[in-house]
Every structure is written in C-alpha cells, then in structure tokens.
C-alpha cells in the first residue's frame, strides 16, 4: 500500500489504484498526506484545498472526507478525527514524499561513502513519477510542488557529484541530459552535466549547454549565469580538450 504525491495523487493497494474521485477530493487527501499520521486542523485543510473558500467550505470538506473514507475502506489507510483535526493514519514511510525526504537525508550523512550515497539517492529518485501533486489546483499545492521539486534537484546534484567522484560520468550524462532542460534555472544541475560531458571528452557539448542556459537566463530574467558556472565554462574553454566552435556561432546553432 502506498500514498503517492510525487506525480499524480494516488493510493495503491495490492498493486491496484484506489478510485479517489475528482481533483478537489485528491487535494484533500494530499493536504492530509503531506502531514501523514499527524492531525491537520479543519481551518488548515480548508486553506490548503481552496484559495478562496466557498461559503460552506466546511460542509464540502466533510463530504470529501466521507467519500475518501469509503474509498479507503479495506486498505491500511484511514482518515480519523484526532485532536481537533483530521489525521491520515498511515505509516509515513508509505507516503512517497516522506520516504524521498528520508532517503535524501540519510544520503547526506557524512559517514556515508559515495557508493552508499548513490544507492540511497537512486532509490529516492525511483519514487519520482513526474510533477508532484499533478492536477491539484491552488496556491498551497503550487508552493508544495515548488518545494518538493527543489528537494529533488538538490538530491540529483548530490547523486551526480557522488557518481562523478566514483568515475561514472556516463551515468551522470545519461540521467541528467533529459532533466536539465526541465529545470533551466537549476545551475548546479547544469554544472554537473557539464562536468560529466567534459569527463567523457565532450567539451564542445558542455559549452553548447552553457550557451543554451545563458540564452535562457538572458531572455527570461535578463541576467547572466552565476559566478561558479561562468568559472566552469571558462575552465572548459581554456582546457580545449575538444575543438570548441566560436561562441557566437555556437550560440546561433543551439538556439536557432
């Protein structure tokens, strides 16, 4: 049995999805699951589910909870009234977002060697199924989505650093190549991919990646890449391990 927030909001039991109903009802479940096994007050639930609560928001919430209780009957998940609020009673480790944070935190411990670190973070990354809280509307969901994605990017960077130290740039390049375009503002992630490309003797591709990132930042934010990424780019150009096209020509090629 699993409660899934790292993608569409789902509950699985016995390998099958539990029918949860419309997005707003899934939002109620997500608002409880993010604090699994801890009470969430009625007011907090209403604030999480509605940006502009309707006049009878409490009645709507009660109805959603009643339907969720019916859907969850027979699983090892239940919604209980506790301490003036509602609690999703479930082992927190069965909630993928919680498990992801636990694995990432364990990987950060100084005593971990890089092999253990990559194993733990690899297990955490396997929990990721897409955009967190997919289909859940509202400002609270947007804030949670952003925060979880930042945790994901941080875990990816730590994972990539460990693999590079272990001499596995091919794994880093394979994993990060499709991910870096999804997070164009995550410069540390781009840095890891650039380092992996250089370790494979593909410096020209690293320079092309920098050009794309620089163009994106200029077009959308009117800023240059940060000093660390600029310094890495300069080191790659000076190393000259691969033939590097002239920057102006390269920029035209990768943005055209």
Over the stretch 68-120, which tens digit does the pLDDT of each residue have? 999 999 898 999 998 889 999 999 999 999 999 999 999 988 777 999 999 99
Averaged confidence pLDDT in the chain: 91
Is residue 252 assigned to a domain?
Answer: yes
Where residue 242 sits, what CATH number does that domain have?
Answer: 1.25.40.10
What is the SS3 assignment for 18-41? Answer: CCCCCHHHHHHHHHHHCCCCCCEE
CA-nearest of 108, 100, 117, 110 to 152 is 100
Domain count, the chain: 2
Phi, psi of 96, deg, nearest 5: -60, -35
Helix 23-33 / helix 42-49 crossing angle, nearest 10 deg = 130
* Contact predicate 144/132, CB 8 Å: yes
* Contact predicate 148/20, CB 8 Å: no
Tokens of 35: 């604090």
Distance of CA 151 to the CA centre of its chain: 6
Look at the block and give the residue holding tokens 């990354």: 125
Is residue 191 assigned to a domain?
Answer: yes
Q: Write the burial class of residue 31 (CB in 10 Å: 0-12 exposed, 13-18 middle, 19+ buried).
A: buried
Beta strand pairing call for 10-13 and 2-4:
antiparallel
What's the whole-model pTM score? 0.87
Q: What pLDDT, in 10s, does the model give residues 24-74?
A: 999 999 999 999 999 999 999 999 999 999 989 999 999 999 999 999 998
Is residue 132 assigned to a domain?
Answer: no
Distance of CA 88 to the CA centre of its chain: 23
Is residue 180 assigned to a domain?
Answer: yes
**Band (153; pLDDT cuts 50, 70, 90):** very high
Domain boundary among 45, 71, 91: 91
Where residue 56 sits, what CATH number does that domain have?
Answer: 1.10.10.10
Domain boundary among 69, 91, 113: 91
Is residue 123 assigned to a domain?
Answer: no
Is residue 34 assigned to a domain?
Answer: yes
* Contact predicate 30/36, CB 8 Å: no
- Which helix (H) or strand (E) segment holds residue 105: the answer is helix 96-107
Domain boundary among 91, 126, 159: 91
Range of the domain at 219: 167-256
**Band (188; pLDDT cuts 50, 70, 90):** very high
């Amino acid at each position: 049995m699993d409660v899934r927030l790292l993608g569409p909001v789902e509950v699985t039991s016995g390998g099958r999805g539990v029918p949860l109903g419309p997005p707003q009802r899934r939002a109620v479940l997500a608002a409880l699951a993010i604090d699994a096994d801890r009470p969430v007050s009625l007011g907090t639930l209403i604030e999480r589910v509605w940006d502009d609560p309707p006049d009878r928001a409490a009645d709507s919430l009660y109805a959603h909870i009643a339907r969720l209780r019916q859907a969850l009957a027979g699983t090892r998940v239940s919604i209980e009234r506790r301490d003036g609020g509602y609690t999703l009673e479930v082992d927190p480790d069965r909630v993928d977002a919680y498990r992801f944070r636990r694995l990432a935190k364990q990987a950060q411990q100084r005593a971990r060697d890089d092999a253990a670190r990559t194993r733990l973070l690899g297990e955490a990354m396997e929990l990721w199924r897409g955009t967190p809280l997919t289909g859940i509307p509202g400002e609270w969901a947007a804030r949670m989505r952003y925060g979880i994605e930042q945790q994901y990017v941080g875990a990816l960077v730590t994972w990539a650093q460990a693999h590079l130290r272990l001499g596995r740039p091919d794994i880093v390049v394979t994993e990060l190549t499709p991910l870096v375009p999804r997070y164009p503002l995550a410069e540390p992630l781009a840095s890891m991919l650039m380092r992996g490309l250089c370790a494979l003797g593909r410096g020209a591709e690293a320079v092309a990646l920098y050009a794309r990132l620089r163009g994106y930042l200029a077009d959308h934010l009117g800023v240059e890449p940060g000093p660390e990424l600029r310094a890495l780019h300069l080191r790659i150009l000076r190393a000259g391990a691969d033939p590097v096209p002239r920057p102006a020509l390269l920029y035209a090629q990768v943005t055209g």
